[in-house]
Amino acid sequence: MLKNFIRIAFRGLLKNKAFTIINILGLAVGLATCLLIVFYVFDELSYDRFNLNANHIYRINMDMKYGGNVASYAITPPPLAATLKNNYPEVERSARLIHDQGVRVKKEGEYVQEEKVVYADSELFDVFTLPLIAGDPKTALTEPNTLVITESTAKRYFNDTHVLGRVINLSDNTNYKITGVMKDIPSQSHFNFDFFFSIAQRADAKLADWNNFSYTTYVLLKAGTDPKAFEAKLPALMKKQLGENYAQLEQSGNYFHLNISPLTDIHLKSNRQYELGANSSASYVYIFSAIALFVLLIACINFMNMSTARSANRAREVGVRKVLGSSRGFLIVQFLSESLLITFCAAIVSVVVAWVLLPLFNEVSGKHLSVTLQVFSWFIPIMLLIILLVGLLAGSYPAFYLSAFQPVNVLKGKVATGFKGGRLRNFLVVFQFSISIFLIIGTLVIYNQLNYIRHKNLGFNRNQVMVIKDVGVMENAKMFKQEIKHLAVVKNASLSGFLPTGVVRAPDEVFRNRSVNPKSALFTEVWPIDDDYLPTMGMGLAKGRNFSHQYATDSLGVIINETAARMLGFANDPLNKTVYRATNSANQPIKEYHVIGVVKDFNFSSLRDNITPVVMFFNDDQGALSIKMESKNTAAFITQVQKIWNQFAPNQHFSYSFMDQDFDAAYRTEQRTGKLFLIFTALAVIIACLGLFSLAAYAAEQRNREIGIRKVLGASITTIVTMLSKDFVKLVIISFAIAAPLAWLTMNKWLQGFAYRQNIQWWVVILAGSGAVLIAFATISLQSFRAAAANPVESLRDGD
């Protein structure tokens, strides 16, 4: 019997090849889109789950209110890890990481800048599943001046993985012995480094300084431990360790609170300062999961609409089958068999399409997705389930609708009841276009916000600023700067590694009075700059003057931003006010500075955050050289700069970037999301239009005789096209009325994640609505015009 159903279904599909091809393509596009999103979602949800003890590993965080600032950090004091392990029975293991500045590693006679560098405890391998292919994980990082490198790094530097005992030389003439080679860390990890240096060589790692927040701390809790109960003990620990300082903090309304984050939540649910890598957001997983579901539903609705569009053609077939004795149940199974067969064919096509498009999808999404045996373990069962669900869902309405035809009415030609009678079909069209309009508005809002970020006045000019990194490796960086300034296209240059490109730096304290009481503290970023910094960055002064070598007292001067002036209480008259800073000197524990200028507020962090205070000191810093240039031939300019670099640092790799690109990189997630939104929105609209096209064909088919009579009576093609289109256009307008407020609320909530944002403009909503109406009208008009242009004699003859 099943074989018979399949054979009849296959024969019926071949009989109507155009219908079959359109249906398969519509479903295939929907399924392929769904598959790609499922790959994306599974990848996002799989972060850090390669660790065998992933469900028992937690990171310790710190929430802080101090000096007028409220912040969340992913770093803690150096002694916390050992204290937790030794004094809390719930803790089985603990480990620390500290991601400092990059290092320059000697490679083939040249020192190459490496940024994926971290210092780690020897207990790292007890907490995380990071298998070594060479070396002993228990001793690999116990000694100073040792390190573990990844497998790919070993091949990159030595063309081999058998490198135990080999030495890596840094630009500061220190040597490190390789004591382990680990397998490459999976890409689904919230941290991914190439060099793991032993933490034993760091002096600050051994300090019992509970006021120094710099280390990322992880704990492996014993099985059966209640994480909430463990977390509840942490505030008492900080209170005990800080002693009187903690009491002063509480009295002044400030606090330091420790809490924990499950390892598997870090990638999607953590957005703290000093994260070890760029995390994503759970909201994007929810959004794309909803898009996958909606696109799949739109594809299923298309199948229903296209099947009902053929109802008049198949009505006589149903009538004849019923007269010959076929039961309604038999017909339902027959139509469901056709639906499942189409879905199966569409699934095969969708798998091929998804596989072909996977490299392009990886490029757009920034992922490294691939089809592996592990993927097949969940892919095949899910695919079979999707085929079954989609086949039954898409085929259920046509099956029950067509099988309900009465043979007497069918054979008398009384099947068609008109388009207006199809309430369910109307609902399906409204549902389709509500989703499409929602996605169109969402896409326009995202692109509008990204465009706002790209063109917002940030308080500095990032265009045509070349940044040469790590100039401190050369003996005379100041002379190098002067040589660069002599180039004809260079307007100015500044030596400072503190750049306004979204890099989080360690904050420090500045006090309003000599008592250094927490009540008078300002927790601020402290930037050492030179006298060329402000003009190079195009920053303006609100009050006062810039640093100058002509004033000897500028060594004790500071320039503060407008936010710092307000928070210090200096907003009205900041010049020559005095601020204080604690030092490590026993002879002069408190140092006094005077304000010589106030720089206009500028966005040096993400536009998701409000501008925070900055205090600038007149000190040397050779982290980078920023060059403001005016050159149309960038390649030639880079060559000129590299020649000068090679004169001052002959054995050092030349590394540079452009400030506008560094700034844009901070919003790469939003840019990728915008591109994916655009792609999925376009697909959703295309699929919805396929359904609308089929319904237009259905309406024209039902009103074929009416159209012929109207034409005989003198109706124009325009009149007939309007008659056939107006009902559909009304449905699209209703869809707009439903989707617009929902999209407004949803995207407005998304925009709340940006401290600086472009409010949703009225034209965005109007453009989305009018665009949807025009697209729908164009789709309908194609079919309506063909029906209106047909010979009325033929339609009247067919209606007899």
Residues 240-270: tens digit of each pLDDT: 888 777 777 777 777 888 999 999 999 999 9
Q: What confidence category does residue 134 fall into, taking pLDDT thresholds of 50, 70 and 90?
A: very high
Query: Looking at residues 84-90, what average pLDDT do you find?
Result: 94
Pairing state between β 590-599 and 557-561: parallel
Q: CA angle 435-390-422, nearest 5°?
A: 60
**pLDDT tens string 442-498:** 888 888 888 888 788 889 998 999 999 888 888 889 999 999 999 999 999 999 988
Task: Name the token pair of 147.
Answer: 């390190």
Report pLDDT for 665: 76
Q: Residue 796: pLDDT above 60?
A: no
User: Cα torsion at 605, 606, 610, 616 (round to 10°)?
Assistant: 10
Report pLDDT for 53: 95
Report pLDDT for 422: 63
Task: Name the token pair of 582.
Answer: 């604690």
Report pLDDT for 482: 94
Q: Which of 6 and 421 is assigned the larger pLDDT?
A: 6
- How far is 51 from 129, CA to CA, in rounded Å? 5
- How far is 559 from 633, CA to CA, in rounded Å? 35
* Helix orientation angle between 328-365 and 2-15, rounded to the nearest 10 degrees: 70
Query: Looking at residues 779-788, what average pLDDT do you find?
Result: 72
Q: What confidence category does residue 800 fall into, taking pLDDT thresholds of 50, 70 and 90?
A: very low
Q: Residue 594: pLDDT above 90?
A: yes
Q: Which of 156 and 569 is assigned the larger pLDDT?
A: 156
Q: Which of 183 and 410 is assigned the larger pLDDT?
A: 183
Q: What confidence category does residue 419 fall into, taking pLDDT thresholds of 50, 70 and 90?
A: very low
Report pLDDT for 411: 58
Q: Which of 690 and 573 is assigned the larger pLDDT?
A: 573
Report pLDDT for 4: 58
- How far is 267 from 46, CA to CA, in rounded Å? 10
End-to-end Cα distance, the chain: 38
Query: Cα separations (Å) of 142 from 135, 137, 196, 600, 618?
Result: 12, 10, 12, 49, 40
Report pLDDT for 226: 95
**pLDDT tens string 13-68:** 566 676 777 778 888 888 898 888 888 898 999 999 999 999 999 999 999 887 66
Q: Which of 223-237, 324-338, 484-498, 604-618 has the lowest mean pLDDT?
A: 324-338
- How far is 541 from 560, CA to CA, in rounded Å? 10
Q: Of 162, 674, 682, whose CA–CA distance to 448 is shortest?
A: 674
Task: Name the token pair of 450.
Answer: 């990204």
Q: Which of 534 and 586 is assigned the larger pLDDT?
A: 534
Q: Residue 11: pLDDT above 70?
A: no
Query: Looking at residues 657-682, what average pLDDT do you find?
Result: 81
Q: What confidence category does residue 420 fall into, taking pLDDT thresholds of 50, 70 and 90?
A: very low
Residue environment code for 49-66, b if the CB has 16+ CB neighbours within 10 A, otherwise e: eebebeebbbbbbbebbb
- How far is 100 from 497, CA to CA, in rounded Å? 14
- How far is 265 from 250, CA to CA, in rounded Å? 30
Q: Which of 10-19, 328-337, 351-360 has the lowest mean pLDDT?
A: 10-19
Is the distance from CB of 171 to CB of 93 less than 8 angstroms?
Answer: no
Kindly report the average pLDDT of the chain as a whole number: 83
Strand runs labelled E in 630-742: 656-658
Q: Which of 302 and 765 is assigned the larger pLDDT?
A: 765
Beta bridge partners of 167: 177
Q: Which of 412 and 421 is assigned the larger pLDDT?
A: 412
Q: Of 554, 497, 662, whose CA–CA distance to 102 is shortest?
A: 497
Within 10 angstroms of residue 608's Cβ, the number of other Cβ atoms is 17
Q: What confidence category does residue 545 fall into, taking pLDDT thresholds of 50, 70 and 90?
A: very high
- How far is 602 from 459, CA to CA, in rounded Å? 4
Query: Cα separations (Å) of 622 from 102, 480, 502, 538?
Result: 14, 11, 19, 20
Report pLDDT for 375: 66
Q: Residue 586: pLDDT above 60?
A: no
**pLDDT tens string 643-654:** 999 999 888 888
The identity of residue 690, as a single letter, is L
Query: Looking at residues 94-116, what average pLDDT do you find?
Result: 88
Within 10 angstroms of residue 244's Cβ, the number of other Cβ atoms is 7
Q: What confidence category does residue 535 fall into, taking pLDDT thresholds of 50, 70 and 90?
A: very high
Q: Residue 320: pLDDT above 60?
A: yes
Report pLDDT for 199: 92
Q: CA angle 250-256-259, nearest 5°?
A: 130
- Residue matched to tokens 């194609």: 782
Q: What confidence category does residue 423 fall into, taking pLDDT thresholds of 50, 70 and 90?
A: confident
Query: Cα separations (Å) of 670 from 35, 284, 293, 503, 747?
Result: 22, 10, 22, 17, 13
Query: Looking at residues 192-206, what average pLDDT do you find?
Result: 87
Q: What confidence category does residue 196 fall into, taking pLDDT thresholds of 50, 70 and 90?
A: very high
**To the nearest whole percent, how much of the chain has pLDDT over 90?**
32
Gyration radius of the chain over CA positions = 34
Q: Of 499, 751, 453, 455, whose CA–CA distance to 607 is shortest?
A: 453
Within 10 angstroms of residue 439's Cβ, the number of other Cβ atoms is 26
The identity of residue 228, as a single letter, is K
